[in-house]
Amino acid sequence: MAWFRPVVVAMALLAVLFGGAGGPEAGASSLGSGPPGGGSQGGPQLAKAKGDACVKDRAWMRRNHMDFLKHRRDETVREGIRIRDESLLNCQSCHTSRTEFCDRCHSFVGVQPDCFHCHNYK
Amino acid sequence: MTMDRRTVLGLGGAVAAGSLLAPGVYLVAAPKPPARTEVKAGRRWAMLIDVNRCSPDCRACTQACRTENNVPLFGDPERDIHWIRKVEIRDKSHKRPSITLPVLCNHCEHPPCKHVCPTAATFQRQDGLVLVDMHRCIGCRYCIIACPYKARSLVYHETHLPEGGNPKVPIRGKGVVEKCTFCVHRLDAGEEPACVEACNRDGDKGMIFGDLNDPESTIAKRVLEAKTTTIRPDLGLGPQVYYKGL
């Protein structure tokens, strides 16, 4: 049965190669692969976040992050309410690159938020 | 309990070192920012500047402000932005020596800049800080005309975060009016304004900052016991930057 061994090894290699690359969460999370509630199939590839979990679940964040930040913005400026976990600075600790996270989606849907004209985000 | 000679000497040395530290300066590790902060009403942030200690060539406060708040210098005296600037007062008859003092936003109790603002971008926080909401400012410059302290500047040019700038303070876009915030981001984190910290660390140790409404605070006691004045008290604006020896 020695002739059978290379065939098995080759099949296993092929399975690893194609199975690994085709997985939905391999290296980058795609907008289309998440739960229903945001994005469509074939959306932009976003950089994988560093931390374990976001402050809100993914679908909610996709739909509402802009209202979330804007609402906090007025509260922070006027009433000094600063919540460490919900600040733009804290977003950066997990989503480290603006060009590979924020900008990819913003340019895909064609919006130009002007937050980053003044607020620093690497 | 018995202590050997070495322990007693060591204890004495520690006490002596502790009492040698400048009053009001504590050796504590920088705390992690609190999970949630909110302005408390009833506070009254104020600053006391000892003019006699302020030497003409010291720029510790202005330098620290520029670094902390990313205040750019364009090299054009007409359009440069100053949150805090050194002012020299000369006696024309030369009877008294000239003095220098830092001038910054006085965070008035009745701020004229707030009253003239057409978009309510300038507002007063519950703890008395007068701030500009950059998201609302349209750059009309009424507030610059209204302010008797020349504390406000319009951003005439595009600015960028400088190399080594402070990422915690957003830069201001072209066409808004900016001014001293008493380092509101530091106050909310429980720290002193950058100018006061720099003055007490590298400068002439002539600035005190604190809550005037707290009778136990250093500034409340000093304002009570020393003869202090404000700039243009006759205007009745209730400025909160006090000067000693002016």
Sequence ranges of the domains in chain B: 41-244
Contact: B34, A85; criterion CB under 8 Å: no
CA dihedral B189, B191, B194, B196 (to 10 degrees): 150
C-alpha distances in angstroms, B212 versus A59, A114, B48, B84?
Answer: 48, 38, 10, 21
Phi, then psi, of B36 in degrees rounded to 5: -150, 130
Q: Could you tell me which chain B residue has the CA closest to the CA of A89?
A: B168
Q: Is the CB of B174 inside 8 Å of chain A's CB atoms?
A: no
Mean pLDDT over A29-36 rounds to 48
Q: Is the CB of A117 inside 8 Å of chain B's CB atoms?
A: yes
The pair of structure tokens assigned to B105 is 């936003």
Mean pLDDT over A43-67 rounds to 86
From B157, B125, B121, B116, select the one nearest B137 (Cα to Cα): B121
| Residues in B touching A79 (Cβ below 8 Å) | 38-39, 125-126
Whether the Cβ atoms of residue A81 and residue B34 lie closer than 8 Å to each other: no
Does some domain include residue A9?
no
**A68-82, B137-151, B169-183, B211-225: lowest mean pLDDT where?**
A68-82
Phi, then psi, of B178 in degrees rounded to 5: -130, 160
Whether the Cβ atoms of residue B153 and residue B82 lie closer than 8 Å to each other: yes
Domain membership of residue A76 as a residue range: 43-122
CATH architecture of B41-244: 2-Layer Sandwich (3.30)
Contact: A120, B167; criterion CB under 8 Å: yes
Q: d(Cα B192, Cα B24) in Å, to the nearest integer?
A: 11
Shortest Cα distance from A25 to chain B (angstroms)? Answer: 32
> ipTM above 0.95?
no
Does some domain include residue A15?
no
**A68-82, B142-156, B231-245: lowest mean pLDDT where?**
A68-82
Give residue-wise pLDDT tens across range B151-210: 999 999 999 998 888 988 999 999 999 999 999 999 998 999 999 999 999 999 999 999
Does some domain include residue A48?
yes
Q: Could you tell me which chain A residue has the CA closest to the CA of B161?
A: A120
Q: How many domains does chain A have?
A: 1
Geometric angle at alpha carbon B139, from A119 and A73, rounded to 5°: 35
- Band (B244; pLDDT cuts 50, 70, 90): very high
| Residues in A touching B188 (Cβ below 8 Å) | 80, 82
